[in-house]
Structure 1
Amino acid sequence: MGKNLNPPSGGDDDHIVPVDLKAALEERYLAYALSTIMHRALPDVRDGLKPVHRRIVHAMSEMGIRPNSAFKKCARIVGDVMGKFHPHGDASIYDALVRLSQDFAIRYPLVDGQGNFGNIDGDGAAAMRYTEARMTDVAALLLEGIEQDAVDFRPTYNEEDEEPVVMPGAFPNLLANGSSGIAVGMATSIPPHNAHEICDAALHLIKHPDASVEKLLEFIPGPDLPTGGIIIESRENILEAYKTGRGGFRVRAKWETEDLGRGGYQIVITEIPFQVQKSRLIEKIAELLLARRLPLLEDVRDESAEDVRIVLVPKNRTVDATLLMESLFRLSDLESRIPLNMNVLSLGRVPKVMALNEVLTEWLAHRKEVLVRRSKFRLAAIDRRLEILGGLLIAYLNIDEIIRIIREEDEPKPVMMARFGLTDNQAEAILNMRLRSLRKLEEFEIRTEFDELSKEKGEIESLLASDEKQWQAVSWEIGEVKKKYAKATELGRRRTQFADAPNADVEAIQQAMIEKEPVTIVISQKGWIRALKGHMSDTSSLTFKEGDGPKLAFPAQTTDKLLLVTTGGKVYTLGADKLPGGRGHGEPVRIMVDMENDQDILTAFVHDASRKLLIVSTGGNGFVIPETEMVANTRKGKQIMNVSMPDETKLVVPVIGDHVAVVGENRKMLTFPLSQVPEMSRGKGVRLQRYKDGGVSDVKCFAIATGLSWEDSAGRSFSKVGDELLEWMGDRAGVGRSVPKGFPRSGKFGG
């Protein structure tokens, strides 16, 4: 029996239709994605508003809450927005309203708030029943001309009302206030800019529509963030970001040093990066202090009132302030990255990532369209008034006859229209006149108004006929906005500066981020590593896992880098501060670095950039390598000696003096000048001594003047200087002669 795909029959199964799940999900998810992109998360390029913000501003306009009117309770505004235009939660609407009023969150607030609207520490606003709001001048500019048919309206969600599709947008809101939102499969992030600079760029674009982004950047050098700060991004990166519409800006806190007298000082931070909560920032710095990640810092205090004032106290007066700040910039949010992703709705419909010039061009095209629509609206109003004035003039000239018709006729309107050739509107206007207006019916006044309106009509018609005049009018409007928000005003002044990041020494910064303490590094035979506090002279008391024992122990500082050399000729770099502490047996090195299983730790030591080392393989090959070439920056390490089994890297000895002594397992010794060994950064090396069988036992570098010395197993010292070494002297790759008398049985110079 085949499977029945229909659901089991019930009482009312007439309307059940089987649907393919994949198709149904695709259709529903697409609908959700589109609604999120179009009606929630992305701003319109023309007015820079998302639907919720547009509805808040429109609702305030409908309620008559203008910049010069009284404040109204936020609960009333939110209620109106929710009931009429935006069928979502009141909390989300109020959050949007609060954000529009915060001068640290938005560059040119659209809402003038009264009451507690939150602060830069991240504290929330008071409940909406306590706070009050009204529009700012910026919001009034966005609405300018909305009642003059400047934009299209559409029915609201319940079709009881109408709402604007877009605002007239006389203020360049998208760039000036920025925007951020996450839709489905796309996001937007636009930082705020300076209105004065945007207007300058727009005016230039009107004159030169093909202006390049490079040219526009002469007017708009970069974002202007509400909280100030210093942008340290390079000009090339900024240009690239504005050209492609994607990029980012590194922003740092603004700081200065305050002299406390007698050589002491403290650092004061007066501006912090955009969208960083001050309280959280200070908590983070305090946590770093407790974790001893900031050895140059003594204390951090928040002395802010209305302004930001964070005080950093250095450990002592010799601390370099720049170095201290660089370490803080690396570890905390005193430096943050502001992303740029100019993903906006073009023409209110198409989401796309735009370059700076495209954004400005679309805004200007919108301003021109608004101008044309307002002009046509005014023209229609003038035509209606001129028609009525013509009727009033006829009425004035025939006032007695008109009064007679109105008094005596049952239907005065058609009679008047027939007698004087009036239109319906003119006759209606005469009939609707009040008696008190009769004394105003003077021919002179009517003719004056008629002439003035006719003149204005001519001007508007010539404006509508000329593209050039339209752009002049748009330029004038933008010029007025520029005057109002000029850099000379408190609101319009540029808050964010530009600077190059100081070229601080990376090594020095790394050191500044680690507390310097003595430690003893211990490595076991099976490759477990740990760092014990303090310098231990006696490591015999240390315990190891069963079957394991000590291999290496040496003193270091937590600020040191350790180099670990393996038998496979690889070097790994470890930070002494990152090693597990002395409790327990430590951790296997293989967890920290990607070490091959068939390789073993040969040796480890503290990195000294000034040293050179002689590295030798079992088979007797070797070369000199500067230690700076051995530092590896990744877990993978760095291959420096090319060896293949059964040959292995066997010895790493410091280069001193001018000669090398090599001893083989066959107890033959050869000495030759160090100049015969090449310096390389990677390779197999050259033959140091030749063997029939066996390999190298030990190598030592020495100065011929001071001689070659060794100790025997009983601890006695031997030394051979100058001519005493003649019989063992030769060229590299020789066989050598049997070791001198008293040479230790182990075949090692150290005994």
Structure 2
Amino acid sequence: MTVHTNPPQGGRIVEEPMAEALSRRYLAYALSTITNRALPDVRDGFKPVHRRIMYAMHQMRLNPQSAARKCAKVVGEVMGGYHPHGDASIYEALVRLAQDFAQRYPLVDGQGNFGNIDGDSAAAMRYTECKLTPAAVLLLEGIDQDSVDFRPTYDDQDEEPMVLPAGFPNLLANGSSGIAVGMATSIPPHNVGELIDACQLLIDRPEATTADLVQIVPGPDFPTGGVSVEGQASILEAYETGRGGVRLRAQWVKEELERGTWRVVITEVPYQVQKSKLIEQLADLIENKKAPLLGDVRDESAEDIRLILEPKSRTIEPEMLMESLFKLSDLEVRFPINMNVLDATGTPRVMGLKECLRAFLDHRRVVLNRRSQWRIARIEKRMHLLEGLRLVFLNLDEAIRIIREEEQPKAALIAHFKLTELQADFILDTRLRQLARLEEMVIQEEYDKLAAELAALQALTSSEAKQWKAIGKELQAVRKALLSPRRTIIADAVDSSAFVAPEAFIPREAITVILSDRGWIRAAKGKVDDPSELKFKEGDKLGFLVPAYTTDKLLIGASDGRIFTIGADKLASGRGHGEPLRLMIDLDEKADIINVLAHEPDAKLLVASAAGYGFVAPENDLLAQKRGGKQVLNGDMKAMMRVTGDHIVTIGDNIKTLIFPIAELPEMGRGKGVRLQNFKQGGLADVAVFNAETGPEWVDGGGRKRKWDDWRDWLGKRAGAGRQGPRGMRKFR
């Protein structure tokens, strides 16, 4: 219950639950962020800041034919009159509207340093100048003809448009991106010629499907070009649902050199990829030996992009080099599609391609009708005034006499010529010299011309078919003004699984994985012949020594039942002490490492818990993609080993031993498993796998391996109690 109390000092204190107060205020903030900052309007494709910049520049008459003005002047005008936020956000938005590598159709003509594709920022607003582009004029055309609604500005001193007339589908032409509270938007740029052709199809055939539209709009058209390798089915689904993505690759060519050598030249980089950071990324791949096919990278760009990639060997195929780099670097990116926009009522919605174009066309029809009504009102007023002139012209001398001699000329004119007050005021406001020069032919000619225009406009506003025809004609004129060839190539879908994984491009070199008792891991080149020569931090010692190759994946079993996966090529050099394993995987501090193995495809592992349960698991199913590993065993893991034999031998804390065929264990991906040996007290002390032909071995207290010739006497059924083993036997490794 809300209680209002008035303190002695005056004022008001509102008492309410904290959760309710926070919830209401946060909801208000979230709605403000969604509607006033992050999401664009489906009709004109603008967020409020961009719309205010466009309108302010229009009011300043910064059209393409005028001289440019300082950006500081524009930002000040926007901030002072329309946008209640800081100058930095306004200037940042203005700069982006001027960048030809960010906007498919730039709306601001920027003069000065407006940044570049390397990621360099623009010069300060006091140094740069700007004006509108022809494309921006098309978006603003008709704004002064009552074509859109206006609302008061934040200080109630002026008015600003709620939406622009939008002569072309700017939302899809230039795209948009933004993050709100609980929702986001990401719309790629498109070719305006294709969009207008799609609009024409919807005008002619409103029942046309998204599949029909995709035949005209095959995919995004990014300002930086590139090659789209997403595939038509995926693009269609994204345009149908409003959610999806498109994979974009850099454009490259092979350049032949002398003596049979060659190099790759990158001529276009993916959208929103900074060239300088891409070069750094490729250089890091070379330095860290993660791109074994790439020998060198350098930038020879001037006006056009020209990145040189040199292979390590001329025997490498260019396609193989590029496929490896597409997987390892931002030469291939995935641009998300999330068409989350504000509809005509200001409601956030995810729209597909057809819905977005339909909303634009409906907006254009509203604009057309409002402009027509505004023009009709102007024509009717002018025709009314011309009728008054025509009446006066019949006795012009009398009209001039009345104006000169009568004390109340307005009343006299109205009484003598039967005029309206509006007509009388117009005649009185006209100079006598102009009245004396009136010609009936001129008046009648203007009247007839206006009458014809009025009839055409009235016919237009009363006929839906004529309205759509007029909209189509306007769109064709816009298409002709903005027509430009497609920049992004639409290629066939690329199945990434058909290409060799990046690991395959890693040089295959023999290494020895060294994991210390305290969890420091490293990789020494070749084979470690004498482990005693290995050096560790003070108080640390050798835990595991695993022979492997740089191309291997390491399976690391932990006592909490999880198995982690690490690429052997990612291990630190064996020259130092390595790096903590816990920085590479999310290993619980209380968990211990049970075993480390180099993954063998199609092999099988035996996993067993301290409680005496276990099962056989296919290694291929145990590879984890995340740092958190894969939970394999439900329980405390006691052992993880490769199945290299046909029998299993277990020993419990009670010194009893059991041997049984490994075929009695089930094969599972994860779980608790089945009981290996029945212990009345204690649990599993150790387990091993062996071949019946060679027999098992065990280790005595002195660390010496002993042959176990009469092992068959301990054969039994799985889950049996077993019997006491040979004297001195405690473990098998």
Q: TM-score range by the shorter chain?
A: 0.7 to 0.9
With structure 2 as the length reference, what TM-score do the two structures score? 0.80
Q: What SS is found at the alignment partner of 2:14?
A: coil
In the alignment, is residue 19 of structure 1 matched against residue 11 of structure 2?
Answer: no
Residue 531 (structure 2) aligns with: 539
Return 386-395 or 582-591, whichever deviates more.
582-591
Aligned to 1:233: 230
The aligned amino acid for 2:55 is: H
Q: Does 1:316 align with 2:316?
A: no
Partner of 1:350: 347
Q: 2:548 aligns with which of 547, 556, 564?
A: 556
- Aligned counterparts of 2:487 and 2:615: Cα–Cα separation in 1: 60
- What is the CA–CA distance in structure 2 between the aligned matches of 1:599 and 1:95, rounded to whole Å? 52
- The alpha carbon displacement at 1:323 in A equals 3.5
Which residue identity is paired with 1:176? Answer: A
Query: 1:146-176 CA distances to partner (integer Å, 9 max, x unpaired)?
Result: 1211112223233332222221111211111
User: Does structure 2 retain, via aligned residues, the 8 Å contact 1:230–1:499?
Assistant: no
- Which one-letter code corresponds to 1:535 in the other structure? K
Superposed displacement of residue 362, structure 1 = 1.7
The residue that corresponds to 2:323 in the other structure is: 326
Give runs of aligned pairs for residues 595-634 of structure 1, distance below 5 A.
601=594, 606-609=598-601
User: Equivalent residue of 1:75, what SS?
Assistant: helix
SS in 1 for 2:248: strand
Q: CA deviation at 1:390?
A: 1.4
Cα 1:592–1:108 change in 2 (3 A) is closer
Using a 3 Å threshold, how does the CA distance of structure 1 residues 231 and 563 change in structure 2: closer, same or farther?
A: same
User: How many percent of aligned residue pairs carry the same amino acid?
Assistant: 51
State the 1:335 CA deviation: 2.3
> Which ranges in structure 2 are unaligned for 5 or more consecutive residues?
652-658, 677-685, 698-714, 718-726
Q: Does 1:182 align with 2:179?
A: yes
Instruction: Please point out which of 168, 191, 194 is paired with 2:165.
Output: 168
Shift of 1:586: 7.7
Q: CA deviation at 1:183?
A: 2.8
Q: Which residue number corresponds to residue 121 of structure 2?
A: 124
Contact 1:41–1:182 (8 Å) recurs in 2: yes
1:429 matched to 2:426? The reply is yes
Amino acid of the structure 1 residue aligned with 2:137: A
SS of residue matched to 2:257: strand
User: What SS class does the counterpart of residue 134 from structure 1 fall into?
Assistant: strand
The CA deviation at 1:552 is 6.6
After superposition, give the CA deviation of every residue in 1:697-740 in whole Å (9 maximum; x if it has no partner).
Answer: 984598xxxx99x9xxxxxxxxxxxxxxxxxxxxx999xxxxxx
1:527-555 deviation digits (Å, cap 9, x = unpaired)? 98653223233434346799998787564
Quick check: 1:371 aligned with 2:368? Answer: yes
What is the 5 A alignment of 1:11-50? 13=9, 15-20=10-15, 22=18, 24-50=21-47
CA contact (8 A) 1:78 1:90 kept: yes
TM-score, normalised to structure 1's length? 0.78
C-alpha contact 1:216 1:357 (8 A) present in aligned 2? yes
Q: Which whole-Å CA distance do the structure 1 matches of 2:347 and 2:640 have between them?
A: 67
- After TM superposition, give the deviation of residue 343 of structure 1 in Å: 2.2
SS in 1 for 2:98: coil
Given that 1:303 and 1:311 are in contact with CA atoms closer than 8 Å, whether structure 2 keeps it comes out as yes
- The DSSP-based 3-state class of the residue aligned with 2:160 is strand
Q: What is the CA–CA distance in structure 1 between the aligned matches of 2:87 and 2:592, rounded to whole Å?
A: 65
Q: Specify the alignment match of 2:332 in structure 1.
A: 335
Is the 2:649–2:688 Cα contact (8 Å) retained in structure 1? yes
Q: Which among 216, 220, 232 is matched to residue 217 of structure 2?
A: 220
Counterpart-to-counterpart distance in 2, 1:450 and 1:600 = 96
Structure 1 Cα separation of the partners of residues 687 and 478 of structure 2: 84
Q: Distance in 2 between matches of 1:150 and 1:609?
A: 68
1:111 equivalent to 2:104? Answer no
Letter in 1 for 2:525: K
Match of 1:510 among 503, 515, 518: 503
Q: 1:588 and 1:403 mapped to 2: Cα distance?
A: 103
What amino acid sits opposite 2:528 in the alignment?
M
Cα distance change on mapping 1:354 and 1:431 into 2, 3 Å? same
Distance change >3 Å, CA 101–CA 554, structure 1 → 2: closer
* Partners of 2:69 and 2:402 in 1: CA distance: 52
Ranges in structure 1 where 5+ consecutive residues have no aligned partner: 688-694, 711-731, 735-744
**Aligned residue in 1 for 2:242:** 245
| Superimposed CA distance per residue, residues 620-642 of structure 1 (whole angstroms, 9 cap, x where no aligned partner) | xx9999976776667656969x9
Alpha-carbon distance between aligned partners in 1 of 2:584 and 2:62, rounded to the nearest angstrom:
65
Paired residue for 1:441?
438
Match of 1:724 in 2: none
User: For residues 506 and 522 of structure 1, do their structure 2 counterparts lie closer, same or farther at Cα, with a shift above 3 Å needed?
Assistant: farther
CA distance in 1, matches of 2:559, 2:73: 77
**In structure 1, what is the equivalent of residue 135 of structure 2?**
138
* AA in 2 matched with 1:323: M
1:305 offset after TM fit, Å? 0.9
* 1:500 corresponds to which of 493, 496, 519: 493
Q: 1:576 to 1:51 in 2, by over 3 A?
A: closer
Aligned mates of 1:150, 1:651 — CA distance in 2: 76
Q: Quick one: distance in 2 between partners of 1:250 and 1:256? A: 19
Q: CA deviation at 1:511?
A: 2.6
* Aligned-partner SS, 1:147: coil
**Partner residue in 2 for 1:480:** 477
Give the match for residue 403 of structure 1: 400
Contact preservation (8 Å) 1:343, 1:354: yes
Distance 1:522 1:132, change over 3 A: closer
Q: Match for 1:495: what amino acid?
A: T
Q: After superposition, what is the alpha-carbon deviation per residue over 1:195-219, rounded to whole angstroms, capped at 9, x for unaligned?
A: 1111112122222333332222222
Q: 1:151 to 1:536 in 2, by over 3 A?
A: same
What SS class does the counterpart of residue 119 from structure 2 fall into? coil
Instruction: Give the distance between the partners of 2:30 and 2:56, measured in 1 at CA.
Output: 27
Q: Is the 8 A contact 1:323 1:509 kept in 2?
A: no
Q: Does the CA-based 8 Å contact 1:545-1:585 persist in structure 2?
A: no
User: Equivalents in 2 of 1:448, 1:270: separation in Å?
Assistant: 61
Deviation at 1:144, TM superposition (A): 0.9
1:700–1:567 distance in 2 versus 1, CA, 3 Å: farther
> Counterparts of 1:527 and 1:481 in 2: how far apart (Å)?
67
Task: Show the counterpart of 1:455.
Answer: 452
| Separation in 2, partners of 1:589, 1:406 | 100
User: Is contact 2:605-2:641 (8 Å) kept?
Assistant: no
Letter in 2 for 1:422: L
**Change in CA separation of 1:536 and 1:466 when aligned onto 2, cut-off 3 Å:** same
2:55 matches 1:79: no
CA RMSD of aligned residues (A): 4.8
Note closer, same or farther for the CA distance 1:496–1:51 as it changes in structure 2 (3 Å cut). Answer: farther
Closer, same or farther: CA 679–259 of 1 in aligned 2, 3 Å: farther
Query: How many Å separate the matches in 2 of 1:165 and 1:569?
Result: 59
Distance in 1, Cα, partners of 2:370 & 2:692: 91
Question: CA contact under 8 A between 1:223 and 1:496: conserved in structure 2?
Answer: no
Aligned equivalents of 1:698, 1:191: Cα separation in 2? 58
Q: Secondary structure at the match of 2:118?
A: coil
Aligned counterpart, 2:704: none
Preserved contact between residue 604 and residue 642 of structure 2 (Cα < 8 Å): no
Deviation at 1:135, TM superposition (A): 0.9
| Structure 1 contact 75–128 (Cα < 8 Å) conserved | yes
Q: CA deviation at 1:109?
A: 0.7
In structure 2, give the amino acid aligned to 1:100. Answer: L
The CA distance in 1 between the partners of 2:151 and 2:580, in whole Å, is 68
Distance change (3 Å), C-alpha of 1:664 and 1:145: closer
- Counterpart CA distance in 2 for 1:611 and 1:88 is 62
Equivalences, count: 695
Q: Deviations over 1:670-718 (max 9, x none)?
A: 9x9x9x9999788999x9xxxxxxx99984598xxxx99x9xxxxxxxx
AA in 2 matched with 1:577: D
CA contact (8 A) 1:327 1:510 kept: no
- Aligned residue for 1:719? none
Deviation of residue 141 (structure 1)? 0.6
Contact 1:616/1:652 (8 A) holds in 2: no
Contact 1:529/1:589 (<8 A) preserved: no
Q: Which residue of 2 aligns with 1:728?
A: none
1:323/1:504 contact within 8 Å kept: no
1:394 aligns with 2:358: no
